[in-house]
Structure 1
Amino acid sequence: MSFSPAQIGNKGIWIALTILSAWFALLAFLLTYRSPEPSVTGIGLSWADPLVYLFILLQTHLYTGVFITAHDAIHGVVAPNNKRLNNAIGWVATLLFAYNSYGKLSAGHHLHHRHAATEHDPDYHRGNPNILLWFVDFARSYVSIWQILAMAITYNVLKIWFPMENLIAFWMIPAVLSTFQLFFFGTYLPHRGDHENPPHNARSQRLNHAWAFVSCYFFGYHFEHHDQPYLPWWKLAEARETSEELRVEH
Protein backbone atom coordinates (compact mmCIF):
# COMPACT_ATOMS: atom_id res chain seq x y z
CA MET A 1 0.00 0.00 0.00
CA SER A 2 1.57 3.28 -1.13
CA PHE A 3 0.78 5.91 1.46
CA SER A 4 2.55 8.47 3.64
CA PRO A 5 1.23 10.55 6.58
CA ALA A 6 1.83 13.75 4.60
CA GLN A 7 -0.93 12.67 2.19
CA ILE A 8 -3.56 13.03 4.94
CA GLY A 9 -3.51 16.81 4.75
CA ASN A 10 -6.32 18.27 6.86
CA LYS A 11 -8.61 15.26 6.50
CA GLY A 12 -7.50 13.76 9.79
CA ILE A 13 -8.26 17.03 11.59
CA TRP A 14 -11.82 17.19 10.21
CA ILE A 15 -12.50 13.54 11.02
CA ALA A 16 -11.21 14.05 14.57
CA LEU A 17 -13.29 17.19 15.07
CA THR A 18 -16.38 15.42 13.70
CA ILE A 19 -16.03 12.60 16.23
CA LEU A 20 -15.38 14.92 19.16
CA SER A 21 -18.27 17.21 18.17
CA ALA A 22 -20.64 14.27 17.75
CA TRP A 23 -19.67 12.98 21.20
CA PHE A 24 -20.32 16.40 22.76
CA ALA A 25 -23.60 16.93 20.90
CA LEU A 26 -25.08 13.53 21.73
CA LEU A 27 -24.00 13.76 25.37
CA ALA A 28 -25.54 17.24 25.69
CA PHE A 29 -28.82 15.88 24.34
CA LEU A 30 -28.77 12.74 26.46
CA LEU A 31 -28.04 14.48 29.75
CA THR A 32 -31.45 16.15 29.48
CA TYR A 33 -33.24 13.24 27.78
CA ARG A 34 -36.57 12.18 29.26
CA SER A 35 -38.31 8.93 28.40
CA PRO A 36 -41.78 9.27 26.82
CA GLU A 37 -43.21 7.35 29.77
CA PRO A 38 -41.15 7.96 32.95
CA SER A 39 -40.88 5.13 35.47
CA VAL A 40 -43.12 4.85 38.48
CA THR A 41 -40.50 6.60 40.60
CA GLY A 42 -41.19 9.76 38.66
CA ILE A 43 -37.66 10.20 37.25
CA GLY A 44 -37.25 11.39 33.69
CA LEU A 45 -35.39 8.27 32.54
CA SER A 46 -37.06 4.87 32.35
CA TRP A 47 -35.05 1.68 31.95
CA ALA A 48 -38.11 0.23 30.23
CA ASP A 49 -37.49 2.69 27.39
CA PRO A 50 -35.68 0.81 24.56
CA LEU A 51 -34.21 4.07 23.30
CA VAL A 52 -32.12 4.30 26.48
CA TYR A 53 -30.17 1.19 25.44
CA LEU A 54 -29.79 2.39 21.87
CA PHE A 55 -28.43 5.72 23.10
CA ILE A 56 -26.01 3.95 25.43
CA LEU A 57 -24.64 1.93 22.50
CA LEU A 58 -24.34 5.04 20.32
CA GLN A 59 -22.55 6.98 23.02
CA THR A 60 -20.27 4.00 23.70
CA HIS A 61 -19.34 3.93 20.01
CA LEU A 62 -18.54 7.65 20.07
CA TYR A 63 -16.54 7.25 23.30
CA THR A 64 -14.48 4.63 21.48
CA GLY A 65 -14.03 7.09 18.62
CA VAL A 66 -12.76 9.69 21.06
CA PHE A 67 -10.09 7.27 22.26
CA ILE A 68 -9.21 6.21 18.72
CA THR A 69 -8.72 9.90 17.92
CA ALA A 70 -6.28 10.18 20.83
CA HIS A 71 -4.57 7.02 19.61
CA ASP A 72 -4.09 8.43 16.11
CA ALA A 73 -2.69 11.62 17.64
CA ILE A 74 -0.17 9.49 19.54
CA HIS A 75 0.99 8.19 16.16
CA GLY A 76 1.06 11.74 14.81
CA VAL A 77 -1.54 11.16 12.08
CA VAL A 78 -4.40 13.43 13.14
CA ALA A 79 -2.51 16.51 11.95
CA PRO A 80 0.80 15.20 10.58
CA ASN A 81 1.80 18.62 9.25
CA ASN A 82 1.19 20.41 12.55
CA LYS A 83 2.65 18.62 15.56
CA ARG A 84 1.34 21.18 18.07
CA LEU A 85 -2.24 20.90 16.76
CA ASN A 86 -1.94 17.12 16.54
CA ASN A 87 -0.92 16.86 20.20
CA ALA A 88 -3.53 19.42 21.29
CA ILE A 89 -6.32 17.34 19.73
CA GLY A 90 -4.86 14.21 21.31
CA TRP A 91 -4.66 15.89 24.69
CA VAL A 92 -8.31 17.00 24.51
CA ALA A 93 -9.45 13.56 23.40
CA THR A 94 -7.64 11.77 26.24
CA LEU A 95 -8.99 14.29 28.74
CA LEU A 96 -12.55 13.65 27.58
CA PHE A 97 -11.98 9.92 27.92
CA ALA A 98 -12.21 9.82 31.72
CA TYR A 99 -9.34 12.27 32.31
CA ASN A 100 -6.64 10.07 30.84
CA SER A 101 -3.10 11.41 30.52
CA TYR A 102 -1.96 11.93 26.93
CA GLY A 103 1.69 11.66 27.94
CA LYS A 104 1.17 8.45 29.89
CA LEU A 105 -0.91 6.87 27.14
CA SER A 106 1.62 7.87 24.52
CA ALA A 107 4.56 6.39 26.41
CA GLY A 108 2.70 3.16 27.13
CA HIS A 109 1.41 2.76 23.61
CA HIS A 110 4.82 3.21 21.99
CA LEU A 111 6.15 0.54 24.36
CA HIS A 112 3.29 -1.69 23.22
CA HIS A 113 4.37 -1.30 19.60
CA ARG A 114 8.03 -1.95 20.34
CA HIS A 115 7.34 -5.02 22.50
CA ALA A 116 3.93 -6.28 21.36
CA ALA A 117 2.68 -9.34 23.26
CA THR A 118 5.87 -9.74 25.30
CA GLU A 119 6.69 -9.28 28.97
CA HIS A 120 7.77 -5.71 28.20
CA ASP A 121 4.40 -4.79 26.71
CA PRO A 122 2.35 -2.76 29.26
CA ASP A 123 -0.89 -3.86 27.55
CA TYR A 124 -0.09 -7.58 27.67
CA HIS A 125 -1.19 -9.90 30.47
CA ARG A 126 1.26 -10.50 33.31
CA GLY A 127 1.34 -14.27 33.04
CA ASN A 128 -2.42 -14.78 33.41
CA PRO A 129 -4.31 -14.79 30.09
CA ASN A 130 -7.74 -14.99 31.77
CA ILE A 131 -9.73 -12.29 30.02
CA LEU A 132 -11.13 -10.62 33.15
CA LEU A 133 -7.83 -10.62 35.03
CA TRP A 134 -6.08 -9.37 31.91
CA PHE A 135 -8.63 -6.56 31.59
CA VAL A 136 -8.15 -5.54 35.24
CA ASP A 137 -4.38 -5.50 34.74
CA PHE A 138 -4.77 -3.57 31.49
CA ALA A 139 -7.01 -0.94 33.10
CA ARG A 140 -4.75 -0.65 36.13
CA SER A 141 -1.83 0.26 33.85
CA TYR A 142 -3.58 3.44 32.77
CA VAL A 143 -6.11 4.40 35.45
CA SER A 144 -4.85 6.49 38.34
CA ILE A 145 -6.39 7.62 41.62
CA TRP A 146 -6.35 11.18 40.27
CA GLN A 147 -8.56 10.17 37.36
CA ILE A 148 -11.04 8.53 39.68
CA LEU A 149 -11.04 11.60 41.90
CA ALA A 150 -11.55 13.92 38.89
CA MET A 151 -14.45 11.77 37.65
CA ALA A 152 -16.05 11.81 41.09
CA ILE A 153 -15.75 15.59 41.37
CA THR A 154 -17.13 16.07 37.86
CA TYR A 155 -20.04 13.75 38.59
CA ASN A 156 -20.97 15.64 41.76
CA VAL A 157 -20.77 18.97 39.95
CA LEU A 158 -22.77 17.84 36.92
CA LYS A 159 -25.56 16.32 39.00
CA ILE A 160 -26.37 19.83 40.23
CA TRP A 161 -27.73 20.55 36.75
CA PHE A 162 -28.46 17.11 35.26
CA PRO A 163 -30.39 14.06 36.55
CA MET A 164 -28.23 11.46 38.26
CA GLU A 165 -29.80 8.68 36.17
CA ASN A 166 -28.80 10.40 32.93
CA LEU A 167 -25.23 10.90 34.10
CA ILE A 168 -24.91 7.24 35.00
CA ALA A 169 -26.61 5.94 31.85
CA PHE A 170 -25.04 8.20 29.25
CA TRP A 171 -21.75 9.42 30.72
CA MET A 172 -20.45 6.72 33.06
CA ILE A 173 -21.76 3.43 31.61
CA PRO A 174 -20.58 4.20 28.04
CA ALA A 175 -17.11 5.07 29.36
CA VAL A 176 -16.83 1.66 31.05
CA LEU A 177 -18.27 -0.22 28.07
CA SER A 178 -15.95 1.60 25.69
CA THR A 179 -12.92 0.75 27.81
CA PHE A 180 -13.80 -2.94 27.63
CA GLN A 181 -14.57 -2.65 23.91
CA LEU A 182 -11.14 -1.16 23.25
CA PHE A 183 -9.49 -3.86 25.34
CA PHE A 184 -11.43 -6.74 23.78
CA PHE A 185 -11.07 -5.78 20.12
CA GLY A 186 -7.81 -3.84 20.31
CA THR A 187 -5.78 -5.92 22.76
CA TYR A 188 -7.31 -9.26 23.74
CA LEU A 189 -8.44 -10.66 20.38
CA PRO A 190 -5.41 -9.56 18.32
CA HIS A 191 -2.75 -10.44 20.92
CA ARG A 192 -4.08 -13.46 22.81
CA GLY A 193 -2.42 -16.87 22.53
CA ASP A 194 0.60 -17.78 20.47
CA HIS A 195 1.78 -15.74 17.51
CA GLU A 196 3.30 -16.84 14.24
CA ASN A 197 3.99 -13.41 12.79
CA PRO A 198 6.86 -11.66 14.61
CA PRO A 199 7.83 -8.93 15.13
CA HIS A 200 4.27 -7.58 15.31
CA ASN A 201 2.70 -10.45 17.30
CA ALA A 202 -0.74 -9.34 16.18
CA ARG A 203 -3.53 -10.90 14.14
CA SER A 204 -6.43 -9.37 12.26
CA GLN A 205 -10.10 -10.26 12.14
CA ARG A 206 -11.68 -11.50 8.93
CA LEU A 207 -12.35 -9.01 6.17
CA ASN A 208 -15.68 -7.37 7.04
CA HIS A 209 -15.58 -3.58 6.95
CA ALA A 210 -19.04 -3.00 8.44
CA TRP A 211 -18.27 -5.12 11.51
CA ALA A 212 -14.71 -3.81 11.73
CA PHE A 213 -15.99 -0.23 11.94
CA VAL A 214 -18.81 -0.93 14.39
CA SER A 215 -16.69 -3.10 16.65
CA CYS A 216 -13.68 -0.79 16.99
CA TYR A 217 -13.09 1.68 14.14
CA PHE A 218 -11.22 -0.92 12.06
CA PHE A 219 -8.78 -1.79 14.84
CA GLY A 220 -9.78 -5.40 14.48
CA TYR A 221 -7.47 -5.11 11.46
CA HIS A 222 -4.70 -5.13 13.99
CA PHE A 223 -1.81 -6.71 12.13
CA GLU A 224 -2.13 -3.94 9.55
CA HIS A 225 -1.98 -1.34 12.31
CA HIS A 226 1.21 -2.79 13.77
CA ASP A 227 2.69 -3.27 10.34
CA GLN A 228 1.87 0.31 9.27
CA PRO A 229 1.33 2.40 12.42
CA TYR A 230 1.48 5.58 10.35
CA LEU A 231 -1.97 4.78 8.92
CA PRO A 232 -4.95 6.59 10.50
CA TRP A 233 -7.88 4.41 11.54
CA TRP A 234 -9.85 5.27 8.40
CA LYS A 235 -7.08 3.88 6.18
CA LEU A 236 -6.88 0.47 7.85
CA ALA A 237 -9.72 -1.00 5.77
CA GLU A 238 -7.76 -0.32 2.61
CA ALA A 239 -4.64 -1.84 4.15
CA ARG A 240 -6.60 -4.96 5.14
CA GLU A 241 -7.87 -5.36 1.59
CA THR A 242 -4.30 -5.19 0.31
CA SER A 243 -3.21 -7.81 2.85
CA GLU A 244 -6.06 -10.11 1.78
CA GLU A 245 -5.18 -9.73 -1.89
CA LEU A 246 -1.54 -10.61 -1.17
CA ARG A 247 -2.63 -13.64 0.88
CA VAL A 248 -4.84 -14.93 -1.95
CA GLU A 249 -2.08 -14.44 -4.49
CA HIS A 250 0.29 -16.57 -2.44
Structure 2
Amino acid sequence: MREKKLIHKATDPFGLIISAIIIICWFISLYLLLTWELNYFNTGMYLAILLQTHLYTGLFITAHDAMHSSVSKNRKFNNLTGWITSILFAFNFYDRLLVKHHEHHKFVATEKDPDYHESGKLWLWYWSFIKRYVTLKQLILVTITLQLLRLVFPLENLVIYWVLPSILSTFQLFYFGTYIPHKKGHEHNNKHKSTTLKKNHLWAFVSCYFFGYHYEHHDTPGVPWWRLWKTK
Protein backbone atom coordinates (compact mmCIF):
# COMPACT_ATOMS: atom_id res chain seq x y z
CA MET A 1 0.00 0.00 0.00
CA ARG A 2 2.78 2.44 0.92
CA GLU A 3 4.64 1.77 -2.33
CA LYS A 4 1.48 2.32 -4.39
CA LYS A 5 0.86 5.59 -2.57
CA LEU A 6 4.41 6.79 -3.26
CA ILE A 7 4.21 5.80 -6.93
CA HIS A 8 0.92 7.63 -7.26
CA LYS A 9 2.53 10.76 -5.85
CA ALA A 10 5.43 10.31 -8.27
CA THR A 11 3.10 10.92 -11.22
CA ASP A 12 1.88 14.30 -10.03
CA PRO A 13 2.93 17.55 -11.87
CA PHE A 14 5.89 18.07 -9.55
CA GLY A 15 7.90 15.49 -11.49
CA LEU A 16 7.94 17.65 -14.64
CA ILE A 17 8.47 20.84 -12.63
CA ILE A 18 11.49 19.45 -10.77
CA SER A 19 12.91 18.03 -14.01
CA ALA A 20 12.54 21.44 -15.67
CA ILE A 21 14.26 23.15 -12.73
CA ILE A 22 17.28 20.84 -13.03
CA ILE A 23 17.55 21.37 -16.79
CA ILE A 24 17.20 25.16 -16.49
CA CYS A 25 19.71 25.36 -13.63
CA TRP A 26 22.18 23.30 -15.67
CA PHE A 27 21.83 25.59 -18.70
CA ILE A 28 22.08 28.84 -16.71
CA SER A 29 25.04 27.62 -14.66
CA LEU A 30 26.85 26.37 -17.76
CA TYR A 31 26.32 29.60 -19.68
CA LEU A 32 27.53 31.75 -16.80
CA LEU A 33 30.58 29.58 -16.25
CA LEU A 34 31.50 29.53 -19.93
CA THR A 35 31.57 33.31 -19.90
CA TRP A 36 33.37 33.58 -16.54
CA GLU A 37 37.04 34.56 -16.62
CA LEU A 38 39.16 31.69 -15.33
CA ASN A 39 41.32 32.18 -12.27
CA TYR A 40 43.05 29.06 -10.99
CA PHE A 41 43.76 30.78 -7.67
CA ASN A 42 40.05 31.42 -7.08
CA THR A 43 38.44 28.81 -4.81
CA GLY A 44 35.11 29.65 -6.41
CA MET A 45 36.30 28.07 -9.65
CA TYR A 46 36.66 24.65 -8.02
CA LEU A 47 33.35 24.99 -6.21
CA ALA A 48 31.78 25.84 -9.56
CA ILE A 49 33.18 22.62 -11.06
CA LEU A 50 31.60 20.64 -8.21
CA LEU A 51 28.29 22.46 -8.68
CA GLN A 52 28.25 21.75 -12.40
CA THR A 53 29.16 18.12 -11.73
CA HIS A 54 26.22 17.86 -9.35
CA LEU A 55 23.88 19.36 -11.94
CA TYR A 56 25.17 16.92 -14.56
CA THR A 57 24.37 14.12 -12.15
CA GLY A 58 20.91 15.63 -11.78
CA LEU A 59 20.41 15.36 -15.53
CA PHE A 60 21.19 11.66 -15.47
CA ILE A 61 19.07 11.03 -12.37
CA THR A 62 16.17 12.73 -14.15
CA ALA A 63 16.67 10.48 -17.18
CA HIS A 64 16.80 7.54 -14.78
CA ASP A 65 13.46 8.54 -13.24
CA ALA A 66 11.98 8.68 -16.74
CA MET A 67 13.15 5.09 -17.24
CA HIS A 68 10.90 4.17 -14.33
CA SER A 69 8.06 6.39 -15.62
CA SER A 70 8.48 8.56 -12.52
CA VAL A 71 8.73 11.97 -14.20
CA SER A 72 5.19 12.15 -15.54
CA LYS A 73 2.15 9.91 -15.88
CA ASN A 74 1.93 11.24 -19.44
CA ARG A 75 4.11 8.81 -21.35
CA LYS A 76 5.07 11.31 -24.07
CA PHE A 77 6.19 13.96 -21.59
CA ASN A 78 7.94 11.35 -19.47
CA ASN A 79 9.93 9.90 -22.38
CA LEU A 80 10.64 13.33 -23.90
CA THR A 81 12.18 14.42 -20.60
CA GLY A 82 14.23 11.23 -20.57
CA TRP A 83 15.49 11.86 -24.10
CA ILE A 84 16.37 15.51 -23.42
CA THR A 85 18.29 14.85 -20.22
CA SER A 86 20.07 11.84 -21.72
CA ILE A 87 21.26 13.87 -24.71
CA LEU A 88 22.40 16.74 -22.49
CA PHE A 89 24.43 14.23 -20.50
CA ALA A 90 27.18 13.88 -23.12
CA PHE A 91 24.90 12.61 -25.89
CA ASN A 92 23.62 9.46 -24.25
CA PHE A 93 20.64 7.89 -25.96
CA TYR A 94 17.59 7.22 -23.84
CA ASP A 95 16.41 4.04 -25.57
CA ARG A 96 19.81 2.39 -25.09
CA LEU A 97 20.04 3.44 -21.45
CA LEU A 98 16.49 2.23 -20.83
CA VAL A 99 17.28 -1.33 -21.91
CA LYS A 100 20.49 -1.53 -19.90
CA HIS A 101 18.99 -0.06 -16.76
CA HIS A 102 16.09 -2.50 -16.69
CA GLU A 103 18.57 -5.33 -17.21
CA HIS A 104 20.34 -4.04 -14.10
CA HIS A 105 17.13 -4.25 -12.07
CA LYS A 106 16.20 -7.65 -13.46
CA PHE A 107 19.63 -9.29 -13.07
CA VAL A 108 21.10 -7.22 -10.23
CA ALA A 109 24.63 -8.23 -9.16
CA THR A 110 24.84 -11.16 -11.59
CA GLU A 111 26.85 -11.74 -14.78
CA LYS A 112 23.86 -10.48 -16.79
CA ASP A 113 23.84 -7.17 -14.91
CA PRO A 114 25.49 -4.54 -17.20
CA ASP A 115 26.35 -2.40 -14.16
CA TYR A 116 28.08 -5.13 -12.18
CA HIS A 117 31.67 -6.37 -12.12
CA GLU A 118 32.40 -9.51 -10.17
CA SER A 119 35.95 -8.43 -9.26
CA GLY A 120 34.60 -5.81 -6.86
CA LYS A 121 37.69 -3.70 -7.63
CA LEU A 122 36.97 0.00 -7.97
CA TRP A 123 38.96 0.96 -11.05
CA LEU A 124 38.40 -2.28 -12.98
CA TRP A 125 34.71 -1.94 -12.32
CA TYR A 126 34.67 1.74 -13.31
CA TRP A 127 36.50 0.98 -16.56
CA SER A 128 34.01 -1.78 -17.32
CA PHE A 129 31.17 0.62 -16.48
CA ILE A 130 32.54 3.27 -18.86
CA LYS A 131 33.11 0.80 -21.70
CA ARG A 132 29.52 -0.41 -21.46
CA TYR A 133 28.00 3.06 -21.60
CA VAL A 134 30.32 5.27 -23.66
CA THR A 135 30.04 4.79 -27.42
CA LEU A 136 32.03 6.00 -30.41
CA LYS A 137 28.98 7.93 -31.60
CA GLN A 138 28.93 9.87 -28.32
CA LEU A 139 32.60 10.76 -28.56
CA ILE A 140 32.17 11.98 -32.14
CA LEU A 141 29.15 14.12 -31.20
CA VAL A 142 30.96 15.59 -28.19
CA THR A 143 33.98 16.42 -30.36
CA ILE A 144 31.87 18.10 -33.05
CA THR A 145 29.88 20.06 -30.46
CA LEU A 146 33.07 21.15 -28.71
CA GLN A 147 34.46 22.51 -31.99
CA LEU A 148 31.24 24.42 -32.64
CA LEU A 149 30.99 25.82 -29.12
CA ARG A 150 34.58 27.03 -29.17
CA LEU A 151 33.54 29.48 -31.88
CA VAL A 152 31.50 31.22 -29.18
CA PHE A 153 33.13 30.34 -25.86
CA PRO A 154 36.78 30.00 -24.73
CA LEU A 155 38.07 26.44 -25.21
CA GLU A 156 39.58 26.39 -21.72
CA ASN A 157 36.20 27.20 -20.16
CA LEU A 158 34.54 24.52 -22.25
CA VAL A 159 37.01 21.87 -21.10
CA ILE A 160 36.79 22.87 -17.43
CA TYR A 161 33.05 23.53 -17.11
CA TRP A 162 31.48 21.40 -19.86
CA VAL A 163 33.74 18.40 -20.41
CA LEU A 164 35.34 17.88 -16.99
CA PRO A 165 32.10 17.96 -14.93
CA SER A 166 30.51 15.41 -17.24
CA ILE A 167 33.43 13.04 -16.63
CA LEU A 168 33.40 13.64 -12.87
CA SER A 169 29.66 13.04 -12.86
CA THR A 170 30.07 9.57 -14.37
CA PHE A 171 32.33 8.70 -11.45
CA GLN A 172 29.89 10.22 -8.93
CA LEU A 173 27.04 8.17 -10.38
CA PHE A 174 29.18 5.05 -10.52
CA TYR A 175 30.69 5.35 -7.04
CA PHE A 176 27.61 6.32 -5.04
CA GLY A 177 24.92 4.76 -7.23
CA THR A 178 26.57 1.49 -8.28
CA TYR A 179 29.88 0.63 -6.64
CA ILE A 180 29.08 1.31 -2.99
CA PRO A 181 25.55 -0.20 -3.09
CA HIS A 182 26.53 -3.34 -5.03
CA LYS A 183 30.25 -3.92 -4.43
CA LYS A 184 29.50 -7.06 -2.42
CA GLY A 185 26.29 -7.88 -4.23
CA HIS A 186 26.75 -11.64 -3.98
CA GLU A 187 27.18 -11.32 -0.19
CA HIS A 188 24.16 -9.13 0.58
CA ASN A 189 21.59 -11.21 2.36
CA ASN A 190 18.57 -9.54 0.79
CA LYS A 191 16.50 -9.96 -2.36
CA HIS A 192 17.92 -6.86 -4.06
CA LYS A 193 21.59 -7.70 -3.36
CA SER A 194 22.04 -4.08 -2.35
CA THR A 195 23.16 -2.08 0.62
CA THR A 196 22.07 1.40 1.65
CA LEU A 197 23.46 4.53 3.27
CA LYS A 198 22.80 5.27 6.88
CA LYS A 199 20.03 7.78 7.31
CA ASN A 200 21.50 11.20 6.53
CA HIS A 201 19.28 13.02 4.07
CA LEU A 202 21.63 15.95 3.45
CA TRP A 203 24.60 13.73 2.57
CA ALA A 204 22.33 11.39 0.61
CA PHE A 205 21.20 14.29 -1.58
CA VAL A 206 24.64 15.87 -2.03
CA SER A 207 26.35 12.58 -2.82
CA CYS A 208 23.91 11.29 -5.43
CA TYR A 209 20.34 12.61 -5.17
CA PHE A 210 19.35 10.04 -2.52
CA PHE A 211 20.48 7.05 -4.59
CA GLY A 212 22.74 5.97 -1.79
CA TYR A 213 19.42 4.73 -0.39
CA HIS A 214 19.83 2.01 -2.93
CA TYR A 215 18.02 -0.91 -1.36
CA GLU A 216 15.03 1.40 -1.07
CA HIS A 217 15.28 2.30 -4.76
CA HIS A 218 15.32 -1.34 -5.84
CA ASP A 219 12.45 -2.06 -3.49
CA THR A 220 10.33 0.85 -4.77
CA PRO A 221 11.72 1.69 -8.25
CA GLY A 222 8.71 3.81 -9.18
CA VAL A 223 9.49 6.41 -6.51
CA PRO A 224 11.26 9.49 -7.99
CA TRP A 225 14.56 10.68 -6.54
CA TRP A 226 13.00 13.64 -4.76
CA ARG A 227 10.68 11.35 -2.78
CA LEU A 228 13.13 8.50 -2.27
CA TRP A 229 14.18 9.78 1.14
CA LYS A 230 10.66 9.07 2.39
CA THR A 231 11.15 5.35 1.82
CA LYS A 232 14.21 5.24 4.08
Please give the range of the TM-score, normalised by the shorter of the 2 chains.
Answer: over 0.9
Given candidates 89, 106, 109, the residue that maps to 1:114 is: 106
Residues 1:5 and 2:14 aligned together: no
Alignment pair present for 1:78 and 2:80? no
After TM superposition, the structure 1 = structure 2 runs for residues 7-26 of structure 1, keeping only pairs within 5 Å, are 7-8=9-10, 9-26=12-29
- How many residues are treated as equivalent by the alignment? 228
What letter is aligned with 1:87?
Answer: N
Contact 1:72 1:232 in 2 (8 A): yes
Computing the radius of gyration over CA atoms, which structure comes out larger, 1 or 2?
Answer: 1
- State percent identity of aligned pairs: 47
- Residues 1:58 and 2:60 aligned together: no
In structure 2, the partner of 1:33 is 36
Deviations 1:76-121 (A, max 9, x none): 0100x20011000000000000000101100000000011111110
Partner of 1:91: 83
Q: CA offset at residue 234 of structure 1?
A: 1.0
Query: Aligned runs of 1:35-184 on 2, under 5 Å?
Result: 45-79=38-72, 81-125=73-117, 127-184=118-175
Contact 2:54 2:169 in 1 (8 A): yes
Q: Which amino acid aligns with 2:145?
A: T
Runs of at least 4 residues off by over 6 Å: none
1:183-224 Cα deviation digits (max 9, x unpaired): 000000000124333321111011000000000000000000
Tell me which amino acid in the other structure corresponds to 1:47: Y
Task: State the Cα distance separating 1:6 from its structure 2 match.
Answer: 3.0
Shift in Å, 1:129: 2.0
The two structures, once aligned, show a CA RMSD in angstroms of 1.0
Give the TM-score normalised by structure 1. Answer: 0.89
**TM-score after normalising by structure 2:** 0.96
- Tell me which residue corresponds to 2:201: 209
Quote the Cα distance in structure 2 between the aligned partners of 1:234 and 1:123. 23
Aligned to 1:245: none
Q: Deviations over 1:25-72 (max 9, x none)?
A: 1001111001xxxxxxxxxx1211211101000000100000000000
Q: Which residue identity is paired with 2:144?
A: I
The residue type paired with residue 203 of structure 2 is W
Structure 2 unaligned blocks of 5 or more: none
CA displacement, residues 136-182 of structure 1 (integer Å, 9 cap, x when unaligned): 10111111000000000111110111011110110011000000000
Structure possessing the higher relative contact order (Cα contacts under 8 Å, 6 or more residues apart): 2
Partner Cα separation in structure 1 for residue 119 and residue 215 of structure 2:
23
Report the Cα distance in structure 2 between the residues aligned to 1:236 and 1:86, rounded to whole angstroms. 18
